[in-house]
Amino acid sequence: MKDEVLIRLDGISKQFGGQSVLQQIDLSIAKNRIITLIGPNGAGKTTLVKVVLGLLTPDKGSVQRSPQLHVGYMPQKLIIEPTMPLKVGRFLQFAEPDIELCRAALHRTGIESLINNPVQGLSGGETQRMLLARALLRKPNLLVLDEPVQGVDVSGQEGLYSLIADLRRELGCAIFMVSHDLHLVMAATDEVICLNQHVCCSGSPQQVSIDPAFVELFGTKTALYTHHHDHTHDLNSEVISERSDSHV
């Protein structure tokens, strides 16, 4: 395995109850790359993420991991008992006891001011930023993000994708991301993998968007959103917007 490759999957197949979920999947994740996994419901995206995380063993194929691999995982959603008295800082301390390191991670994701707020009172965007902060506490060189803008309103989605891109540049890490938000994510990634039990097509967003397999799954009206980085994002304003929208 080359030094820059953090994880490589070769010929991965997986079945559940005799039903094929993944078929002959090849995947290579290198440092400094953002790879986005897309596909319809039931395509096997969650199963593939679990194989990458080491939570599932494939029936066929091999998985090679770099000895230097450190994974930070951001789940799709967080479910916490509404009556549980749990503050944001305490939630992060389950992963890292040092509260100052937790504070620094929250600062990097733009919500340090919410460290003493109850988790149950966070908006969708704030919750995702808290989960991203938790993933950063592992000092990852690979971030695995499952639907990172799940539950986030439109005004906050671009800010989250911009933050993810900034983290890639700052940390030099790889990012493996699952998403359904094609119009935004296609501009926020280096490589797209279209999955439907097998890899239907892969390549740059521009290549994939005109591939017949992609068009068959998603149609011809999927627009490529072009995000010009000739401005800065005020993360605090986006968080405030997200909070305001959540109470409308």
CATH number at residue 56: 3.40.50.300
In a domain, 138, yes or no: no
Structural domains in the chain (count):
1
Query: In whole angstroms, what is the distance from residue 78 CA to residue 135 CA?
Result: 13
pTM to 2 decimal places? 0.83
Range of the domain at 180: 5-77+144-246
In a domain, 107, yes or no: no
- Asked if 182 and 222 count as a contact pair (C-beta separation under 8 A), the reply is yes
Query: In whole angstroms, what is the distance from residue 186 CA to residue 208 CA?
Result: 9
pLDDT averaged over the chain? 85
In a domain, 136, yes or no: no
pLDDT of residue 244: 41
In a domain, 153, yes or no: yes
Helices then strands, counting H and E runs in the chain, come out as 9, 9
The sign of the CA dihedral 47, 69, 79, 124 is: negative
- Asked if 70 and 139 count as a contact pair (C-beta separation under 8 A), the reply is yes
Does the pLDDT of residue 230 top 60, yes or no?
A: no
- Asked if 140 and 168 count as a contact pair (C-beta separation under 8 A), the reply is no
In a domain, 173, yes or no: yes
What percentage of residues in the chain have a pLDDT greater than 90?
61
Query: In whole angstroms, what is the distance from residue 27 CA to residue 29 CA?
Result: 7
In a domain, 212, yes or no: yes
Average pLDDT over residues 85-111: 96
In a domain, 83, yes or no: no
